[in-house]
A and B are shown apart, each in its own frame.
Chain A
Amino acid sequence: MSRREGCLSDLQLDLLLGRALAAGEEGTVREHLATCTACSARYDVLHADREAFQAAMPPLQLRAPEPPRRLAPRRAAWLGTAVALAASVMLVVLVGRPPREVLEVGRTKGSGWSGFYVRHQDAVREGGPGEVVRPGDALQFTTSLATPRYVAVLSLDGARRVSLYYPAEPTAAFQPAGEDVPLPLSTLLDGTLGPETVYVLACPAPIPLEPLLSALEREPSRPPQAEGCEVDVVELDKQEAP
């Protein structure tokens, strides 16, 4: 309708952005971009759109047909199932909050670069230290990172059981830099009552999480540690609904 003869379609630009063009095709597309202001401008628009989406992605909204995932006692088998993922994630609507200091490389644990929101029934609130939560509440974690990192969320519940809240795979997942960036998935709390400790890790690489989960099971009193990773600790108090 409006694209000039010889100009690039959005599909071609999306393929370029996604690095999905063959080497020869990419060269041709880049040559065209270098000489065509219209295509170059359109590329900039799509690129900015992509960056904006990644900086503030809406969390995936999944229904929870079963109680949330639990690692013990058959963690390996559990981790491989799609059902477990579906059981543990729900959408939490984010609400406004004051600016948070972003994480700088070299800071130590507990520096407050992670945050979380709690959805209880239809209400959403910002969580804080010692937050009282209920079975069935959903937690949405966020990060405020100065540079992109690889993030994971581990939990030790009131029964001293270890869970992997995020990501779905046992490897820390890429998380972009930015203020209060939500993780793509949120977590539905199960019925185990008592104090629960949640560890939010930000690492320089996509580290395997299995060793950390095993170590936490062996020594629940010792926070997970991995080289180069920052660890933020969130204490929750899960109480029965009144």
Chain B
Amino acid sequence: MRSNGLIEQLYREHGYLVLRRARQVLGDEQEARDVLQELFTSLLHRPGQFDGRSQAITFLYSATTHLCLNRLRNGRTRLKLVEEVMAPRLSEVEPPRAERLAEARSLLSRLPEELREVAVYYYFDEMTHEEIAGVMDCSRRHVGNLLERVREQVLRLGGASGKERA
């Protein structure tokens, strides 16, 4: 993925998934579009970021997550997320997807920074441990350890931990 033409192709073929995931994580259309631009602009200027070891799609998943988390550190975005009402789980009925995402965003903004990436993959993308290990380029065991810490934080914060997907 060393040439501009290939990055244009990457944008054309996979830009939609960057935009979709940024919308899910940030919950803001303009912020999501900014992430889309930022990711591919950065890639055009510094194509070496993608070293070809991973698949293009898993690379884009990872890069999108990092850019979204960077934006969460931004005060304006963080304030917005914290202000969202956390949906209470009062019944056995699964809440609507949008509501669950709002809950996950609220939770994300309150997690320690080192746990946010794995939480995005688990709560927003609903990946298995194996899939998360693939995107994060680490072992399943490490993913399990991180998620265990996330669950402890979730219980402490009073949110829902979701069911196990090993």
CB within 8 Å of B: which residues of A? 1-3, 5, 9-12, 14-15, 18, 20, 46, 49-50, 52-54, 57-58, 60-63, 82, 85-86, 91, 167-169, 171, 173-174, 184-185
Task: List the B side residues contacting A60 at CB < 8 Å.
Answer: 8, 11, 37, 40-41, 44
Task: List the A side residues contacting B128 at CB < 8 Å.
Answer: 9
Q: Do A14 and B17 have beta carbons less than 8 Å apart?
A: yes
CB within 8 Å of A: which residues of B? 3-5, 8-9, 11-17, 19-21, 33, 36-37, 40-41, 44-45, 47, 55-58, 61, 94, 97, 100, 104, 123, 125-128, 131, 135, 160, 162-163, 165
Task: List the A side residues contacting B40 at CB < 8 Å.
Answer: 60
A117 to B47, CA, bound (A): 29
Closest residue of chain B to A80 (Cβ to Cβ) is B3
Q: Do A86 and B12 have beta carbons less than 8 Å apart?
A: no
Q: Do A173 and B8 have beta carbons less than 8 Å apart?
A: yes
Known: A57-B12, A184-B12. A11 touches B20 (CB 8 A): no
Q: Do B41 and A2 have beta carbons less than 8 Å apart?
A: no
Closest residue of chain B to A63 (Cβ to Cβ) is B41
Q: Do A14 and B37 have beta carbons less than 8 Å apart?
A: no
A60 to B11, CA, bound (A): 9
Known: A9-B125, A11-B127, A184-B11. A61 touches B37 (CB 8 A): yes
Task: List the A side residues contacting B4 at CB < 8 Å.
Answer: 82, 85, 168-169
Indicate which residue in A9, A82, A85, A86 contacts B127 across the interface (CB closer than 8 Å).
A9
Indicate which residue in B14, B37, B44, B135 contacts A11 across the interface (CB closer than 8 Å).
B135
Known: A18-B56, A85-B44, A169-B3. A58 touches B36 (CB 8 A): yes
Closest residue of chain A to B61 (Cβ to Cβ) is A11
Q: Do B126 and A168 have beta carbons less than 8 Å apart?
A: no
Q: Do B16 and A20 have beta carbons less than 8 Å apart?
A: no
Known: A49-B20, A60-B41, A60-B44. A184 touches B126 (CB 8 A): no
Cross-chain pairs A/B with CB under 8 angstroms, 26 sampled: A1-B126, A1-B163, A2-B94, A2-B97, A9-B125, A9-B127, A9-B128, A10-B125, A10-B126, A11-B61, A11-B125, A11-B135, A20-B56, A49-B16, A50-B17, A57-B15, A58-B37, A60-B11, A60-B41, A85-B4, A167-B8, A173-B5, A173-B8, A174-B12, A184-B8, A184-B11
Task: List the A side residues contacting B20 at CB < 8 Å.
Answer: 10, 46, 49
Indicate which residue in B5, B57, B160 contacts A20 across the interface (CB closer than 8 Å).
B57
Known: A9-B126, A53-B16. A62 touches B5 (CB 8 A): no
Sort A-B residue pairs by CB-CB distance and give the 5 closest, nearest first: A169-B5, A53-B16, A168-B4, A1-B162, A3-B126
